[in-house]
Amino acid sequence: MQAEQIEILEFLRQHQPLSLLPEDVLRQVAQSVDIAYYKAGTQILDFGTELSDWFLIRSGAVEVYRRNGDLYNRLTQGGFFAEFGLLRNRRARFPVRAMEDTLVYLIPAELFISLFEEHEEFADQVEVEDRTRLRQAVARREDANELMTARIETLLSREPVLLHHTASAREAARQMMEENVSSLLVIDDAADDEETLKGIVTDRDITDRLVAPGLPYETPVTDIMSPEVVAVEYNQLVFEAMLKMLRDNVHHLPVLRKGKPLGVITLTDIIRYESQNSLFVVRSIFSAQSVEELVPLQSDVRACFSRLIAEDANSRMIGSSMAVIGRSFKQRLLELAEEKFGPPPVPYCFLALGSMAREEQLIVTDQDNAMILDDSFEPEKHDEYFYQVAKFVSDGLDACGYKYCTGHIMATNKKWRQPLKVWESYFTEWIEQPTPEFLLNSSIFFDLEGVWGENRWAKRLNKLIRHKAQKNTRFLACMARNALLRTPPLGFFKNFVMEADGDHNKSINMKRRGTAPLADLIRVHALSIGSASHNSFERLQDVIDAKILSPGSGPDLRDALELIAMVRIRHQALDLEAGAEPDNNIEPENLSDFERKNLRDAFLIVSNAQKYLKYRYQPGRSS
């Protein structure tokens, strides 16, 4: 070896991950190295630069930036960069600039990739950095979308216009006109000299509740206002406000800070931060006058899904948007059903179950739903009406792309169309007598949300579940054991352990082997602490806050859930782009080396989390 190569070899021996390589391989690397020099302030890599080498810093320092210009990292002697792009598509993912005069060793791309594939210790050390980058990439996905980072308070352009609860409807209309607003917040400050929000009155309330029925203008404003105010906190995200507007079908949202009104935002304010795509779809759904008009909207839903991905939305945003759209289909179908069959003979609540209730719905989904009926329900008098409504909705959902549930978890099944007292007895029996059948029911029905009618009954059932499950250690142990039945495909990256189910042979089902096991284990932890959250990310945050996980494992689980979900999502988007019917199965050859390596890490995190689940909820063990 030449003197210069001997010096390079000595440097490589002193710095990981290259020092982990066998001596003969290390010598080969030293003989292949090229050298480059960059003056302080020089741009080394731009985003998208084609890569031919892996960079190892011999001396000096560099700054690594995110795509949006934010500083990501600083590296000095022994630091390395560009592996992220080399493992993905041979394009730089992070711009790099020399902070000071910098000397770098350049290792050819082909050599780096062979080292990564053939030497596990070397690859593992590189992946330690990549996992950090994965976490940063998750954050960058949120940073890239203003909707995910903008706080609601940034939308406020004026203080709220307040009206005392003793005012008349005439005074409300006059104040709206004088202040040029479309809503007023009705307050009561008599109790403790502080403003207490009693309700909201909008221009539409005056039209629909005063003028249309012909009430006198001196009618108290409390008679025409909405007393149950849907509001948001000032520090919530704009995206969350948008979902709340769509979910509750309201156009005005009071913004509060510790219960005190700060202002009101409207749908127009939200549109400034949203592409109008999902809003357009929801508006189109509620404008449809028949099932025949709803069916063509499938293409709009798929376009919305693809656009969210193209705009770098994360899995939480995509799952929530798709759930809002799916819920809107149900709500409009129920409106049409009541128009067709008449008003219900007794009150009822239509339930969404599973991924829709968790706000984790994607483009490939079936329908899981049920009905809670009033306890005055009499089967011989009333059941035919509710069956016809359930069938109308279920058939309509199937026509709109939400396929029938193969397990018949639908309101058309009489077992899942029952009075409230029966549902309460169901849940009580499932928790107190956790047979295999009851545990399966629990894993399905414990993710529920009311979407139509007496939604307070759904909240009542959720409260019952939280109260009874948290106290029943035997039930939690059985649920934990059930959650271990679906395991991640840990053999996937070495011996390609894949599905063997006909059309999807030689593939991995990313729902069955990825997101579902995660949702299951997070649900068990959430039940054990009495979490009231539905979404898996929100439940996981509740679990982290409860400090029942080992330090660091909660954030790791969150990153694993995001990565696995996004691989599944991107695969469905690629299917749509190719004109194929999307599914949950991915083929290994369609993954990049980077995705394979990071998926292995994610599945290892899931596996370790399942081991902890088994340990924590052992029967007889005190938590």
DSSP string across 22-87? -HHHHHHHHHH-EEEEE-TT-EEE-TTPBP-EEEEEEES-EEEE-TTS-EEEEE-TT-EE-HHHHH
Residue with tokens 């020399």: 98
Q: Within 10 Å of residue 292's Cβ, how many Cβ atoms?
A: 10
Cβ contacts of residue 145 below 8 Å, gap of 6+?
311, 312, 313, 314, 317
H/E run at residue 265? strand 260-266
Mean pLDDT, rounded, of the chain: 85
pLDDT in tens, 198-229: 899 999 899 999 999 999 999 999 999 999 88
H/E run at residue 349? strand 348-353
% of the chain beyond a pLDDT of 70: 89
pLDDT at 127: 61
Asked if pLDDT for residue 492 goes beyond 60, the answer is no
DSSP state at residue 90 = S
Asked if pLDDT for residue 158 goes beyond 90, the answer is no
Q: Which residue has the higher pLDDT, 555 or 235?
A: 555
Asked if pLDDT for residue 622 goes beyond 80, the answer is no
Phi, psi (rounded to 5 degrees) for 348: -155, 165
Cβ contacts of residue 333 below 8 Å, gap of 6+?
291, 294, 392, 393, 396, 397
End-to-end CA distance of the chain: 62
Residue with tokens 């370790």: 608
Asked if pLDDT for residue 578 goes beyond 50, the answer is yes
Q: Which two tokens stand for residue 564?
A: 């696995």
Q: Measuring CA to CA, how many Å separate 608 from each of 353, 482, 530, 550?
A: 28, 16, 23, 11
Q: Which two tokens stand for residue 71?
A: 């500083």
Length of the chain: 623
pLDDT in tens, 517-529: 999 999 999 999 9
DSSP strand pairing (417-419 vs 369-373): parallel
pLDDT at 167: 94
Least confident of 184-193, 267-276, 345-354, 363-372: 267-276
pLDDT in tens, 428-470: 999 999 998 999 889 889 999 999 999 999 999 999 999 999 9
pLDDT in tens, 384-426: 999 999 999 999 999 999 999 988 999 999 999 999 999 999 9
**Identity of the amino acid at 234:** Y
Residue with tokens 């029996």: 429
Asked if pLDDT for residue 126 goes beyond 50, the answer is yes
Could you give the CA distance from residue 312 to residue 149 in angstroms, rounded to a whole number?
Answer: 13
With contact defined as beta carbons under 8 Å apart, do 486 and 512 qualify?
yes
% of the chain beyond a pLDDT of 90: 49
Residue 623 has, within 13 A of its CA and on its CB side, a CA count of 22
Could you tell me the pLDDT band of residue 130, with boundaries at 50, 70 and 90? very low
Cβ contacts of residue 17 below 8 Å, gap of 6+?
121, 122, 124, 125, 126
Asked if pLDDT for residue 273 goes beyond 60, the answer is no
Phi, psi (rounded to 5 degrees) for 345: -70, -30
**Which residue ranges form the domains of the chain, and what is each CATH number?**
3-144 (2.60.120.10), 153-265 (3.10.580.10), 273-468 (3.30.460.10), 472-623 (1.20.120)
pLDDT at 58: 93
pLDDT at 57: 93
Stretch 168-192: mean pLDDT: 87
Could you give the CA distance from residue 186 to residue 202 in angstroms, rounded to a whole number?
Answer: 10
Could you tell me the pLDDT band of residue 140, with boundaries at 50, 70 and 90? very low
Could you give the CA distance from residue 174 to residue 180 in angstroms, rounded to a whole number?
Answer: 10
Sign, Cα dihedral of 443, 444, 447, 453: negative
pLDDT at 494: 44
Q: Within 10 Å of residue 320's Cβ, how many Cβ atoms?
A: 24
Q: Compute the CA torsion angle 395, 398, 399, 402 (nearest 10 deg).
A: 150
Stretch 592-605: mean pLDDT: 78
Q: Which residue has the higher pLDDT, 145 or 558?
A: 558
Could you give the CA distance from residue 219 to residue 296 in angstroms, rounded to a whole number?
Answer: 45
Sheet holding 34-38, edge to edge: 34-38, 102-108, 53-59, 80-81
